[in-house]
Amino acid sequence: MQDLFSRLDAEKPSREEMAAGAWLLNRYALEDANNLLQEIEGISDAAPFRHMVTPGGFSMSVAMTNCGTFGWVADRRGYRYEKNDPVSGKMWPVMPDRFMTLAVSAAKQAGFPDFVPNACLINRYEPGAKMSLHQDKDEKDFTNPIVSVSLGLPATFQFGGLDRKDAVRKYLLNHGDVVVWGGPSRLFYHGILPLKEGVHESAGRARFNLTFRRAVL
């Protein structure tokens, strides 16, 4: 009861359709958020965050790790999914049940009842870090959506269209927000503007983003 009354309207989950097949589920993961952050700590003990190098030779400003059967990697040879962490040679940490449950239920909410992820890329942004406009196309099968969970400091998400030059719309992604997209917008260009300076009460001076995918090797 207490909880019911102390929660302001502005803090209730709500949803917004960003494009056909693309949903922003505001605060969908908020109740789970601190547990998700704890799981990230455990994963990064086994598979530490690292700044991957692009095929062009640039070190990414976002630090990354993975969990699940497959992990996304970048190096001089390209972008792809790998069963093993190239840093340790060991398999990526198992995807926590809590991650799987959240991703499956968020996908369902957005109209993708059959989504079962096998890969989770974990991004860590510190102030100044950004993700340039890109498409997610290394999964090979685009019938599955991607589920993306934002934790910690807020970030401005840019969401465009199928062409890199298409106009982008901006959305603020806050702690606990979930974006699900697939179908007609699965290959839309998107990015994250440089993270603003700040300290989050649960995540410190950082933003974390979990992106759940179904990859095919």
Q: How far is the CB of 154 from ligand MD6 (least distance, A)?
A: 11
What does each C-alpha distance from 61 to 28, 73, 127, 132 come to in angstroms?
Answer: 27, 14, 10, 10
Under rule CB under 6 A, residue 144 binds ligand MD6: no
Give backbone dihedrals phi and psi of 4, rounded to 5 degrees, phi first.
-60, -40
- Applying CB under 6 A, which of residues 123, 144, 158, 185 lies at the interface with ligand MD6? 123
Total count of residues recorded for the chain: 217
Nearer to Fe ion, 53 or 94 (CB): 53
Under rule CB under 6 A, residue 148 binds ligand MD6: yes
Under rule CB under 6 A, residue 136 binds ligand MD6: yes
Nearer to ligand MD6, 91 or 174 (CB): 174
Residue indicated by tokens 């503007």: 193
Under rule CB under 5 A, residue 136 binds Fe ion: yes
Q: How far is the CB of 181 from ligand MD6 (least distance, A)?
A: 6
Pick one of Fe ion, ligand MD6, none as the site partner of residue 179 (Cβ within 5 to 8 A by kind).
Answer: ligand MD6
b or e along 197-215 (b: 16 or more beta carbons within 10 Å of the residue's beta carbon)? Answer: eeebeebeebbbbbbbbbb
Burial of 42 per CB tally in 10 Å (0-12, 13-18, 19+): exposed
Binding footprint of ligand MD6 on the chain (CB under 6 A): 123, 131, 136, 146, 148, 157, 179, 190, 192, 209, 211
